[in-house]
Chain A
């Protein structure tokens, strides 16, 4: 099947490739993500119990705790972070975590802001390739 390409805005640019994990519900990583396992643990969230490590997580935005960034930084250090995060609109929390991970460990991950309609077209299980210009190819 031919890949479809979505143009996003790279808040933090980089390359990533992986399986999409998509949710329409905002997520707090503190109280919502176990950086020891890379699993989503928020019992109130539809993805509770699902492992996001290494996948491309499409989540509209962060919610809840300010410590979301610190949990994501720990996840990058532990090798349990998502390979990239796709959002709708600008989410400062995810972008900051990636920027600091780049400074501290030389391991930033792409954070791409998509239009709401493009975001809504994503489905879990699709194969995604994110490039440095914020383009997401979907197949």
Chain B
């Protein structure tokens, strides 16, 4: 039985205007689906709904905007369907660009902040430990819950904006401390520090953990390195693509997992799985669907490339040129590009021959011309989705592999970290 406050009820009855009524009716209906007893406040939202897919997503956005919708809490916007400044360099049609831009405008009119990034946690709108938030975008949900310790359910598009407009969510799931206990214990066995330190490791391991976890919260034990934030980002994105992971704990690394016992909240795990080098090699192989060394394009930046990633890329490409036959694309946010420019790490990347796409990515915008058939990436998320969404073959490799392959004009990978320890 759902108990609503007087204010909730007033919103539902239209006292706060037709947009709030529309949004609250959906939040309440979803509270019934979840079996919630009440709604609770949030103090931040991240809205994935601005991504243009077709007429339905645009009609939904413009319906809300025309009703006068305003967000009730600070709200950031995820990627859109178009790079407003750069789409003409690609295969995007003018009709797509126009409709995607209309959808962007609709959400901006609601008062959401046009960050246009799938890595909002790397901006000034990063939430805090324990903060109650309503976030969409699978990688961002997993990162916010796990790495920051903020609390969000796994919010789908169309509901995220309704939570932002009402400032209310069903009081269920990962908003509540007792639902955040780990359930599946994943132990790394015989995985050497040299591999854990490699920039590919967390993406591959995340891809594997996503498959192992099912609908359970995984707890990872056996990490002996201090992972960089972008490595945890890669893990979150991978696990939320191959699986439905919205929260993970890494013992000794993430804030709710100082110990195994803390991560499990004193309970026994439902299951314990050991992960070996052989399992990781198999997971790595799954991320590659290409079988030759042909290469049309290197694609980096899912989730959006960060300043630290630009800093790592710059020295690898400084003074070099990508092969004239190979496109080299980095997808990022306006903010990160500006910061990389200020830090002097954008210029060498551009001089290398890289293109930078902002606000969106190759999966969210129909950018790629049909002659692009083979991709290489260091992103498990790009590697997971590109074959299905873009009908391309893909090779997964490290950042250094991607750069070297772009220079040589064919796929080359350093296998040394994957050899038996």
Contact = CB atoms under 8 A, between A and B. Distances in A.
Interface string B142-173: 00000000000111111110000000000000
A9 to B, nearest CB: 10
A132 interface: no
Contact of A74 (B56, B153, B214, B388): B56
Contacts of A67: 48, 51, 53, 156-157
Contacts, number: 123
Interface centre among A28, A70, A96 (most CB of B within 10 A): A70
Given A35-B54, A71-B53, A104-B63, A97 B158 contact: yes
A28 B245 CA distance: 12
A52 interface: no
A104 B158 CA distance: 12
Contacts of A65: 138, 241
Given A42-B388, A66-B48, A96-B156, A35 B53 contact: yes
Given A66-B154, A69-B158, A77-B56, A89 B240 contact: no
A74 B389 contact: no
B244 A96 contact: no
B57 A31 contact: no
Interface of B, secondary structure class, is: helix
B35 A90 contact: yes
Given A71-B53, A104-B56, A41 B388 contact: yes
B141 interface: yes
A68 B159 CA distance: 12
**On chain B, which size bracket covers the interface?**
35 or more
B33 interface: yes
Interface residues of A, number: 40
Contacts of A42: 388
Interface in B26-84: 26, 29-30, 33-35, 48-49, 51, 53-57, 59-60, 63
Contact of A64 (B26, B29, B155, B241): B241
B30 A69 contact: no
Interface of B: 22, 25-26, 29-30, 33-35, 48-49, 51, 53-57, 59-60, 63, 136-138, 141, 153-160, 210, 214-215, 240-244, 286, 289, 363, 384-385, 387-389
Given A31-B363, A66-B136, A69-B159, 9 more contacts: A31-B385, A63-B244, A67-B48, A69-B157, A95-B30, A96-B33, A97-B156, A97-B158, A99-B29
Interface of A: 11-12, 26, 28, 31-32, 35, 41-44, 48, 61-71, 73-74, 76-78, 89-90, 92-93, 95-97, 99-100, 103-105
23 contacts: A26-B214, A28-B241, A44-B242, A44-B286, A48-B388, A61-B244, A63-B243, A65-B241, A67-B48, A67-B51, A70-B53, A70-B57, A73-B60, A74-B56, A77-B59, A78-B54, A92-B154, A92-B159, A95-B30, A97-B158, A99-B29, A99-B33, A104-B63
